[in-house]
Amino acid sequence: MERGQESITRVLLWRHGNTDWNAAQRVQGQLDVPVNDRGRAQAQAAAAVLARGEAQLMITSDLSRCVMTAAPLVELTGLTPERDARLRERHFGSWQGLTTPEVRERFPESYARWRAADPDPGDGIESLPDLGKRVSETIRQAAERVPGGTAILVSHGGAIKYGVAALLGWPEEMLPTVAPVQNCHWVDLILQPSYGWRVSAYNVGA
């Protein structure tokens, strides 16, 4: 870093690889579902790219699909990943384990509210403010630990999207216009003293 240049801290939010439940459109939420062969291949390809960033810190959701996704990057970097339950996916209450058609049939009211972007649709589903708060706190704390460096957080699609939204203060009405992060893609956040937090890249893949 050149003299006088501001220190930039980077946090990469990396979504886990594909699972059989992703392929079947089955609601995972906080149930512990492993990645499949496709997910492992995705993780290998992404790890080869992410390793170039020379991260100093890696934190994963404690669910196995994130831990398994992180494994190839651990091999390449030698980092010891920490596990943090705050990086878990949104809890989907009574929906967890059901396919989308099953949810639509059994829980029509909460499904309609969810489709209409209600932040608290009911049936035990975690509210978006609660989800955003726990994930954004984890992002901030990771950045504080690597000033001027890079942290990689391995998490889940909804957790990443709404954690970033809470961190950056995106208005609620904007959220339906933001696409979900795909399997094994990531969001690149940078923190610079004169600007604060900014999105450098969104939904990037290998």
| Total Cβ atoms within 10 A of residue 74 | 16
Q: Please give the structure tokens belonging to residue 148.
A: 């001027």
- Residue of 16, 126, 156, 185 marked catalytic: 16
Annotated binding-site residue? 62: no
Is there a binding annotation on residue 19? yes
Please indicate whether residue 89 is annotated as part of the active site.
Answer: yes
Residue of 89, 126, 156, 185 marked catalytic? 89
The position carrying tokens 């600007």 is 195
Q: Is 22 annotated as a binding residue?
A: yes
- Helix residue ranges, H only, the chain: 20-23, 37-50, 64-77, 100-106, 108-115, 128-145, 157-168
- Rounded CA gap, 16 and 87, in Å? 11
| CB 46 within 8 Å of CB 206 | yes
Query: Does 15 carry a binding-site annotation?
Result: yes
Is 90 annotated as a binding-site member? no
For the chain, how are helix, strand and coil distributed in percent, rounded to 5? 45, 20, 35
Q: Is 185 a catalytic residue?
A: no
Strands 9-15 vs 82-83: parallel, antiparallel or unpaired: unpaired
Tell me whether residue 65 is annotated as binding. Answer: yes
Annotated ligand binding at 36? The verdict is: no
Q: Any binding-site annotation on 16? A: yes
CB distance 21 to 29 below 8 Å: no
| DSSP-derived 3-state class of residue 67 | helix
Three-state DSSP state, 80: coil
User: Is 93 one of the annotated binding-site residues?
Assistant: no
Active site residues: 16, 89
Annotated binding site for substrate: 15-22, 65
Binding site members: 15-22, 65
